[in-house]
Chain A
Amino acid sequence: MTMITRSALFRWLDEMAEELPLIAPSYVEGILLYRQVSKSSEVAMARERPVLSPKEVFFPSTEVLFTINKNGDKLRLNETLPVKEQVVFGVKACDARGLSSLDAMFIDTAPADPYYAAQRKLTTVIGMKCKEMGETCFCTELGLSPDDPSGVDISLAEFEEGFDVQVMTQKGLDLLNRYLQDGADFYIDRSPLSGCTDATQPTRVVLPEAKTFPLLFEDAMWDEVAERCLSCRICAYACPTCRCFDIRDEELPASAGERRFERIRCWDSCTRNAYRRTAGGHDPRAGKGERLRNRIYCKYYYFPRRYGQLSCTGCGRCIDLCPVNIDITEILRRIVEVRQFP
């Protein structure tokens, strides 16, 4: 089989970055994030996953829905749908699965969210298979594989000599043909290695059966596991599948006699205090235990019931980032244990 050389890949990325916004894992003050890069040398070919997921490319932490211009009794709204074609490079299998879960809710369930749908349509996703699993990764426990090419347009696998290229969609093929120019040093022959080298690490978690969740809804475990939760929401912000949002208007600078605003939506999370409070002041999830339970149930029970797939990819970011070491796999293990030994 053929692979492309490292230099061919970097040339490809350089040519692409000249014409399109190219978003790739890149170190920003020592933190690995998906950010726009201007040349291939800025791309971090790191084995580790970026701290935040590529969710923010399609569903930004703050997104303008439309702008509002007020001038006397004149009022004008300007819709601000994404219009720019772009490429995201280096998306791992877990994050590709995250996009598929967001697609199920944002696009496949009518009415489609026009902002997310437009950005998805305009973006070509280049995946990068994982060669090894990270310490907190548990994608394999959820039926994923670190070298699964599905959910991306082009899937790459890195080897010493170069990159194996697997074209998954027409969109991927179009991008390949558009920028990848044949050269003398282009192809090398090599038999591919298959599989992630480290996909057989000890079992971190057993996914509870669906019928378990209703039985444990009122269990005392929720107050216990949430006792140290700070309701800081980092778990949701780093999560490739969490998608709750808030909407509000913010004022922009304007010329004299005019006022300008933008209606924005920004990430929110069900673990936040008062998230579910109603206008009348009532809050059916006033306690931290109730809120953490909602997050867990959403991922493994509610979302699958509504959209036919988990809202968790096993990426492990929430475990890495929780300031008080709440481990979602420990909670899942506890659910199974409480069920077995009540």
Chain B
Amino acid sequence: MMNKIITDENPMVPFLGKLKYVRDLGNEIKLLGVELMDGGALAFSEYHPGQFAFVSAFGVGEAPFGIASTPARSGILEFAIQRLGTVTTELHRLGQGDVVGIRGPMGNCFPMHDFAGKNIILLGGGIGGAPLRPVIHTILDNRKDYGHFTILWAARHPSLLIFTDEYEEWRSSPDCELHLTVDHPDQTWDHNVGLITELLAKVAPSPHNAVTITCGPPVMIYYVNQVLNKLGFQPEQNFVTLEARMHCGIGKCGRCNLGDKLICVDGPVFKMTEVGQFLESYL
């Protein structure tokens, strides 16, 4: 039995959710499937690719994560969580049936409607691939609405690649290509070796009628954009989602600013033209 006593809608108090499943996605990376209770199911009946939510490990704290699922595919809210700090360590300790807290959905989203009819190049690095999975699912589930789809998926090591069980679906969808690369291969690895920037230069997608979507560490975003510029992409064609260790998600705690922008309410999705106009660099 669980209940939450609140006087009114309070954005700081999470909805309660039960872990429906916990799966290993990679080394120290787990997929948490959350079934929302009380008002949460209603609040999350609609959310969009690129949005994020806070996940509470009650007793330790909460942290923001890009939502890795789409409401079209599942009523279960999914998060890919890499064990990095105290909250993620506690979340990794939890199992099926345990209760977590969820606040959200928060932030803006990828303008999927504006991407209609366009060729899409998606670049995911490591755990940065998590908030891009809803973009992939949305495109695959509405395949005719979008043009050619190129996925470049990277990690430092094969054990850190996420959603490996979906690669077959991604690459076998019509007009889709999937390219994988790792910095440090193991003996079983038979795909590309090297940085995602090298892979991007090799695949060399055309900028014609295309948009790019990138999520990964800041240094990856920086060098990916250099390669995209060389390939002829204009900054307004390139979309990124940025990360910060936010605390409130509603523009109050001050933690996520870059210049006068707040990643939580002005982002996390930005066009590179906007990022270029930030007074402060994300690097």
Contacts and interface: CB of A to CB of B under 8 A. Distances in A.
Interface of A: 65-66, 68, 70, 73-79, 81, 105-106, 109, 111, 113-115, 213-214, 217, 243-249, 251, 259, 261, 263, 265, 268, 270, 275-280, 282, 284-285, 294, 297-298, 301-302, 305-306
A114 B247 contact: no
Contacts of A248: 60-61
Interface in B210-231: 217-219
A270 B59 contact: no
Contacts of B59: 68, 70, 249, 251, 259, 261
Given A278-B243, A284-B280, A79 B62 contact: no
Contacts of B7: 79, 81
Question: Do most interface residues of chain A lie in helix, strand or loop, or is the interface mixed?
Answer: mixed
Given A78-B5, A276-B244, A278-B245, A249 B60 contact: yes
B259 A111 contact: no
Interface of B: 1-8, 10-14, 16, 56, 58-63, 82, 84-85, 88, 97, 99, 101, 127, 217-219, 243-245, 247-248, 250-255, 257-260, 262, 279-283
**What are the 9 tightest A-B residue pairs by CB atom distance, in nearest-first order?**
A244-B254, A302-B260, A79-B6, A77-B4, A248-B61, A247-B247, A305-B260, A261-B59, A75-B2
A114 B11 contact: yes
8 contacts: A75-B99, A79-B10, A106-B252, A109-B251, A243-B254, A245-B252, A297-B259, A306-B260
Contacts of A214: 279
Given A76-B3, A114-B11, A278-B245, 13 more contacts: A65-B13, A75-B58, A77-B5, A77-B6, A77-B13, A78-B5, A111-B250, A246-B247, A268-B253, A294-B257, A294-B280, A302-B260, A306-B262
Contacts of B251: 105, 109
A244 B218 contact: no
Contacts of B10: 79, 81, 114
A139 B205 CA distance: 58
A301 B260 contact: yes
B190 to A, nearest CB: 28
Contacts of A280: 84, 127, 217, 243
A106 to B, nearest CB: 6
B13 A79 contact: yes
B61 A249 contact: yes
Contacts of A244: 253-255
B227 to A, nearest CB: 20
